[in-house]
Amino acid sequence: MKSTTRYLKLNVPERMDFVNITPDVEETVRESGVQEGLCLVNAMHITASVFINDDEPGLHEDYKRWLEKLAPFDASPEVYHHNRTGEDNGDAHHKRQVMGREVVVAVTNGEIDFGPWEQIFYGEFDGRREKRILIKVIGE
Amino acid sequence: MKSTTRYLKLNVPERMDFVNITPDVEETVRESGVQEGLCLVNAMHITASVFINDDEPGLHEDYKRWLEKLAPFDASPEVYHHNRTGEDNGDAHHKRQVMGREVVVAVTNGEIDFGPWEQIFYGEFDGRREKRILIKVIGE
Amino acid sequence: MKSTTRYLKLNVPERMDFVNITPDVEETVRESGVQEGLCLVNAMHITASVFINDDEPGLHEDYKRWLEKLAPFDASPEVYHHNRTGEDNGDAHHKRQVMGREVVVAVTNGEIDFGPWEQIFYGEFDGRREKRILIKVIGE
């Protein structure tokens, strides 16, 4: 069994934004030499997501408005008790649960086995500082 | 390490519906010959989900009403900016995020290691055309 | 390829609550002897979740209030058709979808490859009876 581990570092300048990390994951899969296997991609921070969807700016705007409605930003400790710790990112911990922590993709014939429009995104909900993403490929 | 890859094709006649694909996944696991390993099942389209829950029609009705409330269908480009592309499926991209893209199940003693009521479903949110599901089994 | 399977049993005294199961997963990974691989942790019941987030009581309170708003408990068969079966846990099947069924974590150098604050939780939404969690480690 082969395995490769890679850590991506990102510093997203906005509080909430989505970054297409597909090229980094594809590169890691190729470097691993794995022909048949699985590839895990996960946010290493709990106010961020990794998810698969469309690389379409209108959809990303829609996601931001929708997540803001489902879990609005509010720095006060009354709305999110988590903010009693001195943090202001209670909302980000909720947005991340909606969008998910990780994706697992199949590796087939040495490539990510994508459907027609699948792209891998990092979803940041408490940005403006360095965060890490883990990519792990296992297989043969 | 052994691996098996299978693609299911489905054409769901409704816009939104759930299809129990457990028998297909079980068959693929048996054909793989894997005794101990992992099985990934994912929607290959970004307006669809694969998830695990109960095969109970009342619950499926509940999910449909709930998802319609969380992310209502609206073809207009004002509500979902995604629909400015000419699509009308902005809602489907949101519903899919709530229900998830994929499941990973354990394979133990050559069978899917299910809890008492676990069944694997394909969740369609923009149907009436052919879609694909990927099943990947790895292990030994 | 090595593999280890372990089943945790839990009986959560509240209807809804979160239990930190990180030590059990870490122990299973160490016992597996796997140095590089993947570890799946999933709820075996469909009214429960396994998810990764912060071990902070204020956040857990926030999650409970938020989930209750997104999918309120209601035993009547009018609100959740699922409850026409005689169950009263329709809400729990919805809460579980928001929080997710499973996590997959990387194993690197014989340890779970966690980010700075990642902790693994069992999320119970219909407690007061015994439930099971599956931990499966594969790798080399």
Touching C (3+ Cβ pairs <8 A), the chains are A, B
pTM score of the predicted model: 0.98
**pLDDT, one tens digit for every residue, chain B (140 residues):** 999 999 999 999 999 999 999 999 999 999 999 999 999 999 999 999 999 999 999 999 999 999 999 999 999 999 999 999 999 999 999 999 999 999 999 999 999 999 999 999 999 999 999 999 999 999 99
pLDDT given for residue A85 in this prediction: 96
Mean pLDDT along residues C61-68: 98
Residue reference for tokens 């090229």: A23
pLDDT given for residue B7 in this prediction: 98
pLDDT given for residue C133 in this prediction: 98
Judge: A3–C66 Cβ closer than 8 Å, yes or no: no
C71 in reach of chain B (CB within 8 A): yes
Q: Which of B53, B105, B140 has the CB atom closest to C93's CB atom?
A: B53
Q: How confident is the model at residue A99 (pLDDT cuts 50, 70, 90)?
A: very high
Contacts of C82 in chain B (CB under 8 A): 54, 56, 58-59, 62
A110 CB-near residues (< 8 Å, 6+ apart): A29, A30, A33, A34, A35
pLDDT given for residue A64 in this prediction: 98
Q: How confident is the model at residue A7 (pLDDT cuts 50, 70, 90)?
A: very high
pLDDT given for residue B79 in this prediction: 95
Are B101 and A103 a contacting pair, CB within 8 Å? yes
Q: Which residue of A lies nearest to B88 if distances are taken between CA atoms?
A: A59
Angstrom CA distances, A38 to A25, B112, C33, stand at 12, 17, 20
Judge: C62–A97 Cβ closer than 8 Å, yes or no: no
In angstroms, rounded to a whole number, what is the distance separating the alpha carbons of residues B1 and B136?
13
Distance from CA of C140 to the nearest CA of B (A): 11
Judge: C52–A90 Cβ closer than 8 Å, yes or no: no
State the complex-level ipTM: 0.97
